[in-house]
Amino acid sequence: MNFKLLVLDVDGTLLNSSREISERTIKTLKKVQQNGVRIALASGRPTSGVLPYAKAIDLDFNDGFIISYNGAKVLEASTGKVIFERAIDPRLVPYLEKQVQRSGCVLAYYDGDEVVATDIENPHIVDEAQMNNMSLRQVDSISEAMADLGDDKATWPTEVILVNDNQQMLNGIDSHLQRHLNGVVDTILSNPYYLEIVGYQVGKSHAMSALVQKMGINMDEVIAFGDGRADINMLQMAGVGIAMANAPEEVKRCADYTTLSNDEDGAAIAIEQAFEEEQEKHEDTEEVPVDVLNAQNKNTLMGTLGMQYTYASPQRVEATMPVDKRTRQPFGILAGGASLALAETLAGLGSMIACKPGEMAVGMQISGNHVSSAHDGDTVRGVATPIHLGRSSHVWQVQVFTSTGKLVSTVMVTNSVMSKR
């Protein structure tokens, strides 16, 4: 399975118990993005609470996405452009308040950079504000606080939060709202003490569907990670759903696999394994027949310089080239320009293999370091491996060795990927 989208829950999955991203996880996520996989962070937090983590893994430089408010909002990390948004009608809020008025629940919602709540001293509300670097505003009634919002949906809240440490009570409210407001709102028990009321058909799985449609890919090309009840539908819908070891048993039962906990780099380890298997599969099944390539290049620069491909796949391309009158300097050593020609040839073939149907690659930049010499009569070997296979550019490292394995040159080649006209 060729994964093209990686969707990660934030708290309890991406973050450890200290609410930090480990160095291993950062390194792993940056690497998979360099290989062309796009990442979406999916959280119940407001967008502002996800942004610091998106920046930490370079989501804004790699065309990544942020799914916030448990799927009520999806945006591009690089531009802030909203792809999907669904709010809750504030005219429903008085009904919600009436249903919970004797429950002792604290009600809250997000308004810009504020958490607006009926009890700003509640420890869960305080933690929510601190966690997302937001201020607090006390109100007697959230429906009264929303009274002036009107019909402009851009001003409507993304969700209303009910907070209570009595989980049994929250379960009862959840069941009641599902019976009486079915088809109007959805409910999400994101924590034992949080019941979130969101717009109809809002959830991480719906947000993920919107992304899949935007990207033009299939759901079986998605791998998702999560640890909470709000992640269950997302894990079930993805091509592969992976639960964290710290997830409740009901979440693990809904996933395809369970990895280690968020304090054991569980997400990073599972991602590394998944993409290592993918790379091995490509190397095993997508090797290109080099005899056909060599026959096609007989009357090209490659043929003129005596180059011969010996191996070609999306992850590695190799070729040999003789050091003779065609490629040497007057002093009998390999010309630097011949090394660069070999490197550009290898990287060009690698990009051609890696391109999707309807795409082509052209050279943009090449730079080389010549560290030792190869002499007349020897045969050098070039090995090209990808450093970055993105949507718009490929970067290859090419190393040139003598027949005894001594490094002659290290060359970096950048190719531009574009659509065929």
Asked whether residue 253 falls in the same domain as residue 147, the answer is: no
Contact 312, 287 (CB under 8 A): yes
- Give the Cα separation of 86 and 286 in Å (integer): 43
Q: How many CA atoms lie within 13 Å of 240's alpha carbon, on the beta-carbon side?
A: 17
Model confidence band, residue 89 (pLDDT cutoffs 50, 70, 90): confident
Distance of CA 112 to the CA centre of its chain: 26
Contact 381, 318 (CB under 8 A): yes
Structure tokens at 336: 């630097």
pLDDT digits (tens, 9 = 90+) for 311-321: 888 888 999 99
CATH, residue 404: 3.10.129.10
Asked whether residue 22 falls in the same domain as residue 169, the answer is: no
Strand partners, 312: 317
CATH, residue 131: 3.30.1240.10
Asked whether residue 255 falls in the same domain as residue 176, the answer is: no
Asked whether residue 244 falls in the same domain as residue 332, the answer is: no
- Pick from 252, 282, 312: which residue ends a domain? 282
**Residue 136 φ then ψ, to 5°:** -115, 145
| Structural domain count of the chain | 3
Question: Average pLDDT for residues 7-29, to the nearest whole number?
Answer: 95
Question: Average pLDDT for residues 262-271, to the nearest whole number?
Answer: 95
Contact 279, 257 (CB under 8 A): no
Asked whether residue 317 falls in the same domain as residue 240, the answer is: no
Structure tokens at 229: 């009840």
**Residue 16 φ then ψ, to 5°:** -85, -170
Structure tokens at 156: 């409507």
Structure tokens at 367: 């730079």
- Pick from 172, 199, 226: which residue ends a domain? 199
**Residue 196 φ then ψ, to 5°:** -105, 130
Q: Are strands 379-389 and 316-322 parallel, antiparallel or unpaired?
A: antiparallel
- Pick from 257, 282, 307: which residue ends a domain? 282
pLDDT digits (tens, 9 = 90+) for 173-191: 889 888 888 888 888 888 8
Model confidence band, residue 1 (pLDDT cutoffs 50, 70, 90): very low
Q: What pLDDT, on the 0 to 100 scale, is given for residue 259?
A: 96
Tally: H helices and E strands in the chain:
13, 20
Active site residues: 344
Asked whether residue 189 falls in the same domain as residue 209, the answer is: no
Asked whether residue 121 falls in the same domain as residue 190, the answer is: yes
Structure tokens at 178: 């599902």
Asked whether residue 258 falls in the same domain as residue 325, the answer is: no
Asked whether residue 55 falls in the same domain as residue 99, the answer is: no
Least confident of 71-75, 195-199, 399-403: 195-199
The full length of the chain comes to 421
- Give the Cα separation of 197 and 229 in Å (integer): 14
Helices (H), 238-315: 249-252, 266-285, 290-296, 301-304
**Which letter does DSSP use for residue 255 in this model?**
S
Mean residue pLDDT of the chain comes to: 90
**Residue 39 φ then ψ, to 5°:** -120, 140
Question: Average pLDDT for residues 329-338, to the nearest whole number?
Answer: 94
Asked whether residue 276 falls in the same domain as residue 315, the answer is: no
How far lies 18's CA from each of 103, 254, 259, 292, in Å? 32, 26, 19, 55
First vs last C-alpha separation in the chain: 29
Question: Could you tell me the sign of the dihedral formed by the alpha carbons of 220, 223, 227, 231, in that order?
Answer: negative
Model confidence band, residue 284 (pLDDT cutoffs 50, 70, 90): very low
Structure tokens at 252: 């693990």
- Give the Cα separation of 276 and 135 in Å (integer): 44
The residue that leads in pLDDT, 372 or 96, is 372
Find the domain containing 243 and state its range: 5-82+202-282
Contact 133, 126 (CB under 8 A): no
Asked whether residue 191 falls in the same domain as residue 221, the answer is: no
- Give the Cα separation of 230 and 332 in Å (integer): 68
Asked whether residue 295 falls in the same domain as residue 278, the answer is: no
Question: Average pLDDT for residues 262-288, to the nearest whole number?
Answer: 75
Contact 88, 158 (CB under 8 A): yes
Structure tokens at 195: 């019941």
Model confidence band, residue 281 (pLDDT cutoffs 50, 70, 90): low
How far lies 406's CA from each of 301, 323, 400, 402, 419, in Å? 25, 14, 8, 5, 39
